[in-house]
Amino acid sequence: LGMDEMILRESRETKIREYAADIRSAGRTLLSLINDILDLSKIESGKMEIVPVEYELSSMINDVVNMIRFRAEDKDLELVVNVLPTLPSKLVGDDVRIRQILMNLLTNAVKYTRVGTVWLRVSSLEGSCENIKLHFEVEDTGIGIKAEEMDKLFASFERIDLERNRNIEGTGLGMPITLRLLDLMGSALEVKSEYNKGSVFSFDLDQRIVDKTPVGDLEKKVAEAASDQKIYSEAFTAPDANILVVDDNSMNRKVFVALLKKNQINIMESENGLDSIALASHKKFDIIFMDHMMPGMDGVEAMKRIKEKKDGPCADTPIIVLTANAVAGAREKYLEDGFDGFLSKPVVSEKLEAVIREFLPKEMIKPAPAPEDASVVDSGVSEVDIDEFPVIFGIDWKIAAMRLGDRNTIDSILEEFFSAIDLQAAKLQEHREGIPATLGDYEIQVHGMKSTSGSVGIVPLSGMAAVLEKAAYDGDIATIEKLHDVFIAEWKSYKDRLREYLHAEDDPEDDKEEISDEILDVLLSMLSSAMESIDIDGADEAIEKLSAYRLPERVADRFEELKAAVTQLDQKLTSEIIADMR
């Protein structure tokens, strides 16, 4: 789905975008099905647990409304939300599962309603000083349910009025999951329905009150929340703060430091676990950011060793794990290991600032100087004009801008990436030759390459590295054997792709073999044929082979334009350029 999104963003070919849109729709349907089956499996095996936490009622309702609003608007349905203003603002319950239940009910309401209105109502039936019984209702003006079909509503993989609803997507799992989740929370679903007129689904939940302050007007609360979020995301300074960042990859450390340059924080760097332990034994740090996967001693062991020194200056210092392992459940696993927080890589400036705000002593946080134009939100991307960047095959400048901020930082990090291309490839090749003994080192090395390429917006390269990393983790040597050489070739190709942009002078064009007219004609014909048949791999191979030669002036002058046309799958422009080159 992520790669498909890049096609939708970058392709200008109408037919390709139509194919990609179909892939997105089918992929999301499949993802929804998988999630439902996993939830049902957990419930049936007794592994689904209700986890009560403190939550804000208005925030939860707002999240649900935001997720369903677009679906309702797509069908020109009115979505009406009524929340009793006197409800308490903070409660204790499993808000994740409540959201899931409401989303299942609201999704069904929108799905089976052709015209009219969908309502979400939240009120209370009774309560005490410490507890409240919330009453939720979802009503629609949809097709309703026949009395004889009501049993199907609660059966797995069953759908009501199948002949009438054959064009409506769905698996029939949402309602059984909802029923079982409610049962786990000591509740039940009530259904009132009139065929061809609509339905009302309702349930009650006992929740513990944390803050009795009335939730008030929901629209006003939503506006306040948006305002608070904007203030929260603004830059701050912390000139008295000392932070240690531990990462074996120098480029990752450079990105980290660059993202915080406006915050005036004192940052010390460490390239391995042992070195970080030594530094933490002699100097007080206010926060330590620790990479997980490092050669020798990994971040988990280093974190535990630092915390074990009860008389050390960093015994109570929050240690935040830095990791590209951001799959579901990873955060919980790292917190169980002893980390105080979690930050996924590639690091995004807003999330980094949020973590620092959370863990730094409040007295160290200083307001940032007011910007000259208060209407401009300092998101980083606003500082970069994407149109100023040249088209370079494989690089998404929007992602680079989002992750690195300003133009100077992007150029600096790209130079770092460029200078390390050969060294990183050599290290990975060395570990490849030692497999299976060096499988762990291979995983760590390609993990770092995934992170660095992702930081500079080279999404395809980062994706290939992710596949190799997982193969190494799983001990899947066959996949490594199949993809390693392809990945190395693609990784090294960025030397040529970035050289002109960075004005690099090493590995001059003169060192390349001059292409003969015969080879040039064959490769251009190969490229033309590949583009006509939409053979992306063939087109990439032709471009790569052309890049390996010193090209005649008439070809070299338009080669970057040719690569850009191939990247955009612009068949007409590619044909025109090839014709000029011949």
Answer whether residue 295 shows pLDDT above 50. Answer: yes
Average pLDDT over residues 206-228: 71
- Segment 387-405, tens digit of pLDDT: 778 888 888 888 888 777 7
Taking Cα atoms as reference points, which of 361, 349, 340, 358 lies closest to residue 284?
Answer: 361
Q: How far apart are CA 31 and CA 22, in angstroms?
A: 14
Q: How far apart are CA 106 and CA 102, in angstroms?
A: 6
What pLDDT was estimated at residue 378?
40
What pLDDT was estimated at residue 17?
84
List alpha helices for 309-406, DSSP H. Answer: 330-337, 349-359, 397-404
Q: How far apart are CA 110 and CA 100, in angstroms?
A: 15
Answer whether residue 185 shows pLDDT above 70. Answer: yes
Q: How far apart are CA 330 and CA 342, in angstroms?
A: 9
Q: How far apart are CA 423 and CA 72, in angstroms?
A: 53
What pLDDT was estimated at residue 543?
85
Angstrom CA distances, 442 to 12, 201, 258, 435, stand at 38, 54, 28, 8
Peptide bond into 346 cis (omega under 30): yes
Answer whether residue 489 shows pLDDT above 80. Answer: yes
Average pLDDT over residues 53-82: 83
**Percent of the chain residues past pLDDT 90, beyond the cut:** 18
Average pLDDT over residues 169-186: 76
Taking Cα atoms as reference points, which of 51, 330, 332 lies closest to residue 181?
Answer: 51
Taking Cα atoms as reference points, which of 577, 571, 564 lies closest to residue 395?
Answer: 564
Average pLDDT over residues 23-41: 71
* Confidence label for 156 from pLDDT (cuts 50, 70 and 90): very low
Task: Say which residue the tokens 């609360």 belong to.
Answer: 221
> What 3 state SS string does 81-147 have?
EEECCCCEEEEEECHHHHHHHHHHHHHHHHHCCCCCEEEEEEEEEEECCCEEEEEEEEEECCCCCCH
Average pLDDT over residues 494-515: 70
Q: How far apart are CA 64 and CA 121, in angstroms?
A: 12
The CA angle 289-293-297, to the nearest 5 degrees, is: 90
Q: How far apart are CA 508 and CA 506, in angstroms?
A: 6
Q: How far apart are CA 254 and CA 414, in angstroms?
A: 11
Q: Give the distance from CA 93 to its chain's centroid.
A: 27
Q: How far apart are CA 460 and CA 450, in angstroms?
A: 10
Q: How far apart are CA 463 and CA 487, in angstroms?
A: 10
Angstrom CA distances, 503 to 282, 415, 453, stand at 43, 10, 20
Pairing status of strand 190-194 against strand 78-83? unpaired
Q: Are 211 and 54 in contact (CB under 8 A)?
A: no
Indicate the Cα dihedral angle 104, 106, 112, 115, nearest 10°. -170
Taking Cα atoms as reference points, which of 244, 228, 224 lies closest to residue 356?
Answer: 244
Ordered strands of the 341-344 beta sheet = 266-270, 242-246, 287-291, 319-323, 341-344
Output the six-digit token pair for 285. 């740090």
DSSP 48: -
What pLDDT was estimated at residue 145?
81
Which element (helix H / strand E) includes 243? strand 242-246
DSSP 20: H
- Among 91-105, 406-420, 440-454, the range scoring the smallest mean pLDDT is 406-420
What pLDDT was estimated at residue 121?
93
Q: What is the mean pLDDT of the chain?
A: 80
- Segment 329-387, tens digit of pLDDT: 677 888 888 999 988 877 777 788 889 988 998 888 888 766 544 333 343 334 567 77
DSSP 75: T
Top pLDDT among 218 and 550 is at: 550
List alpha helices for 145-272, DSSP H. Answer: 150-153, 174-184, 218-233, 250-259
